[in-house]
């Protein structure tokens, strides 16, 4: 078996370890199976590689019992996109790579777990989709249900629970113990749900709801401590033209690149969020207007010098930024963000790719 994939993988440091091979169909029985190998590195051992074959027919019966009927599916993928198992079974899918599909790139690639809604290319049915990776093992469990089959709110929770339970059926008792320990940790599960509810799935930043709550907390902290607070309102210039010219997939890549840049360049105490579309907002605690303007200018220059590569072309993108500083104890977070938004509007009106400072708030009271 020296030329077999599962054996060769154990000969090199870069691939040695728990290895899941490409699904194969037995020439004798006609049944599909997934080869798994593990190295035995002890010098005195006469065995160098342990090997087993998981018959998909046995796994399919377990998955069929728990899939959400009538049109739900259960799939096991390797993290590189290769399909290992699917129920209902489709021989034309098993062993094929899904890495090039928009669904894999947008929702599954590089993400530990998540929920999404998409129309499958196989039957065009709109589905709720839940996925989870299995920690250190190169597997992704994907559970789907047709939208018309989701009749009650508790079904959304079932997606995640079924995904974790199915993973245990594939890898046996060893992986099952790890998964059930994770399920037992209710606090961790609750925290994961909190993150899901507060995160923008495209960029990984806070969504609008979570960001506005964070802005209110920072405004109240600044009022109590007497320290500054500034806000940046950021808008991607000509974003509609990017979508119209290159397509929404490229537009999503541009937005994700901006999200990564904000994560890299901002301080740990700063907070960034996506308010919607191409509009982002940043909270800068303990920062006055001058320092905030310097941060805004640094972000503007950095964005301009970080093109997004599309095929053989580099797509240059620019930002317009409005900057505002908390004016006093009476100004609310909403009012502060509104002033920054007005400055952003002025930046776009004055030619884009620039930073504008907000005007001081209008005085209140009687003369």
Round to whole Å and give the CA distance between 353 and 257.
17
Torsion of CA 137, 139, 145, 146, to 10 degrees: 150
Is the pLDDT at 188 greater than 60? The verdict is no
Tell me what pLDDT residue 176 has: 45
Lowest mean per-residue pLDDT among 132-136, 160-164, 178-182, 277-281? 178-182
Share of the chain above pLDDT 90, in %: 34
Residue 179: the pLDDT is: 47
The pTM of the full predicted model, rounded to 2 decimals, is: 0.49
Predicted confidence (pLDDT) per residue in 41-98, tens digit: 666 666 678 888 888 888 888 888 888 887 788 988 888 888 888 888 888 888 888 8
R_g of the chain, CA atoms, integer Å: 26
Residues with active-site annotation: 278
**Does position 239 have pLDDT exceeding 80, yes or no?**
yes
Check residue 106 and report its DSSP letter. Answer: I
**What integer pLDDT is reported at residue 145 of this predicted model?**
79
Residues of 143-161 as b/e, b for ≥16 C-beta within 10 angstroms? Answer: bbbbeebbeeeeeeebbbe
Q: Is the predicted pLDDT of residue 367 greater than 50, yes or no?
A: no
Range of weakest confidence among 61-65, 151-155, 263-267? 151-155
Q: What is the Cα–Cα distance from 342 to 352, expressed in whole angstroms?
A: 14
Strand, coil or helix: 95:
coil
Angstrom distances, CA of residue 301 to CA of 266, 306, 355: 14, 9, 10
pLDDT, tens digit, 9 for 90 and up, residues 273-306: 999 889 999 999 999 999 999 999 999 999 999 9
What phi and psi, each to the nearest 5 degrees, are found at residue 39? -80, 145
Q: Label residue 156 by pLDDT band (50, 70, 90).
A: low
Res. 167 pLDDT band, cuts 50 70 90: low
Question: How far is it, in rounded angstroms, from Cα 218 to Cα 205?
Answer: 17
What pLDDT shows up at residue 45?
Answer: 61
Distance CA 336, CA 331 (A): 7
Mean pLDDT of 306-312: 84
DSSP 208-265: HHHHHHHHHHHHHHHHHHT--EEEEEEEETTHHHHHHHH-HHHHHHHHHHHHHHHHHH
In degrees and rounded to multiples of 5, residue 313 shows phi and psi of -115, 150
Mean pLDDT is highest, among 143-152, 162-171, 174-183, 210-219, for 210-219
What is the overall mean pLDDT for the chain?
82
On the question of pLDDT at 117 being above 90, the answer is no
Angle made by CA atoms 159, 163, 166, in degrees to the nearest 5: 135
Q: What is the pLDDT of residue 70?
A: 78
Binning pLDDT at 50, 70 and 90, where does residue 181 land? low
pLDDT at 215 over 50: yes
How many other C-beta atoms are found inside a 10 Å radius of the C-beta of residue 119?
Answer: 12
Q: What is the pLDDT of residue 110?
A: 77
- The percent of residues in the chain predicted with pLDDT above 70, rounded, is 80
pLDDT tens-digit series, residues 242-252: 999 889 999 99
Rounded distance, CA 321 to CA 356, Å? 6
Instruction: State how far the Cα of 100 lies from the Cα of 104, in Å rounded to an integer.
Output: 7
Question: Is 319 strand, coil or helix?
Answer: strand
Which pLDDT does position 345 carry in this prediction? 96
């Amino acid at each position: 078996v020296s030329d077999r994939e599962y054996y060769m993988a154990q000969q090199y440091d870069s691939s040695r370890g728990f290895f899941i091979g490409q699904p194969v169909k037995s020439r004798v029985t006609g049944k599909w199976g997934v080869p798994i190998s593990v190295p035995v590195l002890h010098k005195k051992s006469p065995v160098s590689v342990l090997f087993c074959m998981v018959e998909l027919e046995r796994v399919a019966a377990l998955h069929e019992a728990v899939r959400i009927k009538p049109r739900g599916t259960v799939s096991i993928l390797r993290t590189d996109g290769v399909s290992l198992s699917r129920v209902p079974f489709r021989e034309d899918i098993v062993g094929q790579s899904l890495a090039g599909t928009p669904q894999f790139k947008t929702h599954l690639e590089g993400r530990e777990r998540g929920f999404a809604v998409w129309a499958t290319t196989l039957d065009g049915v709109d589905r709720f989709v839940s996925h989870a990776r299995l920690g250190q093992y190169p597997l992704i469990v994907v559970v789907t249900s047709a939208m018309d089959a989701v009749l009650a709110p508790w079904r959304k929770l079932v997606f995640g629970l079924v995904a974790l339970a199915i993973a245990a059926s594939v890898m046996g008792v060893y992986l099952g113990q790890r998964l059930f320990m994770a399920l037992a940790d209710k606090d961790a599960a609750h925290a994961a749900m909190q993150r899901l509810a507060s995160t923008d799935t495209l960029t990984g930043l806070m969504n609008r709801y979570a960001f506005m709550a964070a802005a209110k907390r920072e405004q109240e902290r600044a009022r109590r401590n007497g320290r500054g607070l500034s806000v940046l309102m950021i808008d991607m210039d000509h974003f509609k033209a990017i979508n119209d010219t290159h397509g929404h997939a490229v537009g999503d890549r541009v937005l994700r690149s901006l999200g990564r840049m904000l994560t890299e360049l901002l301080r740990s105490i700063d907070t960034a969020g996506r308010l919607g579309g191409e509009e982002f907002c940043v909270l800068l605690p303990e920062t006055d207007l001058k320092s905030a303007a310097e941060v805004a200018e640094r972000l503007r220059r950095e964005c301009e010098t970080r093109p997004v590569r599309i095929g053989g072309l580099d797509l240059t993108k620019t930002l317009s930024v409005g900057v505002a500083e908390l004016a006093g104890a009476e100004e609310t977070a909403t009012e502060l963000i509104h002033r920054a938004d007005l400055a952003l509007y002025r930046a776009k009106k004055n030619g884009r790719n620039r930073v504008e400072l907000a005007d001081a708030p209008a005085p209140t009271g009687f003369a």
